[in-house]
Amino acid sequence: MVVKTYSAKLIQRIKRTPSIESFRFLLEEKINFLPGQFLRLIFDENNPENKELNKFLSFSCSPGNNYVEVTKRLSTSLFSQRLSVIRLNDQLLIQAPFGNCVFKEGFKKTAFLIGGIGITPAISIIEYIINKKLDTDILLFYSNRTEEEIAFRQELDIWAESNSNLKLYYILTDYMPKDNSCSFGRINKELLLSKIKDPQEWVFFTFGPPKMVEAMNELCLEIGCLKENLRTESFAGY
């Protein structure tokens, strides 16, 4: 795929958690991207290589939608500050698509080991599978510090209710959950082996901070995942 520059208009902002927000854009020309890819949002048009104001963000929507969406945990960074004040109908530049950590329709068993904001490309992939009605088994192991920080929970729960092939496992690290649909602890070998009896048959996606991605990759190999079935993307510099 060829990377191109697009003009995008903000059409909606969605609060996902107290610290995470989604931004939806309408483009004059459709972006052809694959589920799992990412884009670069440009605030400094005069210097495209400005890493403080022009950052990579994953698509958090299916390629088939009539909009593109990105989702960000807003921080004190200059990029977050600029993103937090954009208004409806504001115009920005987007460069896309980037990335090779993508879903392919031949994957029949797909597991996600996700931490925090790493959920964004997983949402793109899961929504794509749901919308296309693909015969793909999906396991999502999603770790967050608190229940309030589980981004896209409403969408995920709705998809799981109507799709028996989607199984969700919410894991909290900071305290015992009030909700019995969440568990306390970390994504570990015991949890994975209790849910996956045939790890050699699954494709594993791991998205999140570099240290978590590295730990999850080692865990996948430890339970018997084939190395060629690992798909990883590290989120750094956010």
Mean pLDDT of 221-233: 94
- Mean per-residue pLDDT over the chain, rounded: 94
For residue 236, what pLDDT is reported?
A: 58
**Beta-carbon contacts of residue 159 (< 8 Å; ≥ 6 apart):** 126, 127, 130, 166
Mean pLDDT of 209-234: 91
At residue 41 the predicted structure's pLDDT band, cuts being 50, 70 and 90, is very high
Nearest of 44, 55, 41 to residue 6 by alpha carbon:
41
CA-to-CA distance for 227 and 238, rounded, in angstroms? 28
- Per residue in 112-147, pLDDT tens? 999 999 999 999 999 999 999 999 999 999 999 999
Domains in the chain, ordered, with CATH? 4-98 (2.40.30.10), 109-234 (3.40.50.80)
Are 18 and 149 in contact by the 8 Å Cβ rule? The answer is yes
Nearest of 113, 57, 119 to residue 82 by alpha carbon:
57
- Per residue in 159-188, pLDDT tens? 999 999 999 999 999 988 887 889 999 999
By percentage, how much of the chain surpasses pLDDT 90? 87
